[in-house]
Structure 1
Amino acid sequence: MNIRAKANIVSWSFISIAVIMICVFYFYPMIQALIMSFQSGMGTNLSFVGLDNYKRLFTDTTFIAALKNTFIYLIVQVPIMIILALFISVLLNDKNLKLKGFFRTAIFLPAVTSLVAYSVIFKYLFGPDGLINTMLLKLHLINAPIEWITDPFWAKITIIIAITWRWTGYNMIFYLSALQNIDSSIYEAARIDGASSFRQFTSITVPLLKPIILFTSITSTIGTLQLFDEVMNITKGGPGNSTMTLSQYIYNLSFKYTPDFGYAATVSYAIVILIVIFSILQFKLAGDKNG
Structure 2
Amino acid sequence: MIQSVRPMKKRKIKGDGAWGYAFIAVALVVFAVFTAYPVASAFIISFQEYKPLGSTFIGFDNYTNTFSDALFWKSVVNTIVYTVLTVPVALFLSFAVAILILPLKKWLQTTFKAVYYLPAVASGVALSVVWLWIFDPMSSGIFNKLIGFFGISNQNWLGSSATAMFSLVFMSWLSSHGTSIIIYLAALLGIDGSYYEAAELDGASFLQKMWYIVIPCLKPTTLFLLVTGVIGSFQVFQNAYLMTGGGPDNATTMVGLLIFNNAFKYFEFGKAAAQSLILAVIIAGIAMVQFKFLGNDVEY
Corresponding residue number in structure 1 for 2:48: 39
Contact 2:47 2:59 in 1 (8 A): yes
TM-score normalised by length of structure 1: 0.91
Amino acid at match of 2:147: L
Q: Name the structure 2 match of 1:131.
A: 142
TM-score, length-scaled by structure 2 = 0.89
- The answer for the alignment partner of 1:288 in structure 2 is 296
Distance 2:60 2:10 in 1: 53
Q: Which amino acid in 1 is paired with 2:179? A: Y
- CA distance in structure 1 between the partners assigned to 2:162 and 2:218 by the alignment: 34
Q: Of 187, 190, 193, which residue of structure 1 is paired with 2:196?
A: 187
Counterparts of 1:121-200 in structure 2, within 5 Å, are: 121-129=130-138, 130-138=141-149, 140=150, 142-200=151-209
Following TM superposition, by how much is the alpha carbon of 1:48 offset from its aligned partner in structure 2, in angstroms?
Answer: 1.5
Aligned residues of 1:40 and 1:262 also touching (Cα < 8 A): yes
Which of residues 248, 262, 267 in structure 1 aligns to 2:270? 262
1:11 match: secondary structure: helix
- Between 1:187-196 and 1:81-90, the stretch displaced more is 187-196
- Give unpaired runs (5+ residues) of structure 2: 1-8
In the TM superposition, residue 42 of structure 1 has moved relative to its aligned partner by 5.7
Q: Distance in 1 between matches of 2:13 and 2:114?
A: 49
Residues 1:112 and 2:106 are matched in the alignment: no
Question: For the residues of structure 2 that align with 1:267 and 1:273, how far apart are their CA atoms?
Answer: 10
Q: Name the Cα RMSD after superposition.
A: 2.3
In the alignment, is the contact (CA less than 8 A) between 1:67 and 1:245 conserved in 2? yes
| Separation (CA, whole Å) in 2 of partners of 1:73 and 1:272 | 17
Output the CA distance in 2 between the equivalents of 1:119 and 1:10.
Answer: 44
Return the alpha-carbon distance in structure 2 between the equivalents of residues 38 and 96 of structure 1.
58
Give, in angstroms, the shift of residue 26 of structure 1: 1.2
Structure 1 residues 41, 21: closer, same or farther in 2, change over 3 A? closer
| Greater helix fraction, Structure 1 or Structure 2 | 1
Q: Which runs of 5+ in 1 are unaligned?
A: none
Give percent identity, aligned residues only: 33
Q: Distance in 2 between matches of 1:31 and 1:206?
A: 41
Structure exhibiting the larger radius of gyration computed from Cα positions = 2
Supply the distance in 2 between the matched residues of 1:42 and 1:68 (Cα, whole angstroms). Answer: 31
Cα distance in 2 for residues equivalent to 1:194 and 1:153: 49
1:278 to 267, 279, 286: 286
The Cα shift of 1:38 comes to: 1.3
Shift in Å at residue 170 of structure 1? 1.9
Q: Equivalents in 1 of 2:50, 2:23: separation in Å?
A: 43
The answer on whether the counterparts of 2:119 and 2:178 sit within 8 Å (CA) in structure 1 is yes
CA distance in 1 between counterparts of 2:39 and 2:122 reads 29
1:44, distance to aligned residue in structure 2 (A): 5.8
How far apart are the structure 1 equivalents of 2:293 and 2:176? 23
Q: Give the secondary structure class of the aligned counterpart of 1:227.
A: coil
Give distance in 1, aligned partners of 2:298 and 2:95: 24
> Which of 90, 101, 125 is equivalent to 1:92?
101
Alpha-carbon contact 2:183-2:221 (below 8 Å) kept: yes
What does the per-residue CA deviation read over 1:141-169, in whole Å, with 9 as the maximum and x for residues that have no partner?
x5111221111131111111222222222
Shift of 1:222: 0.9
1:5 counterpart SS class:
coil
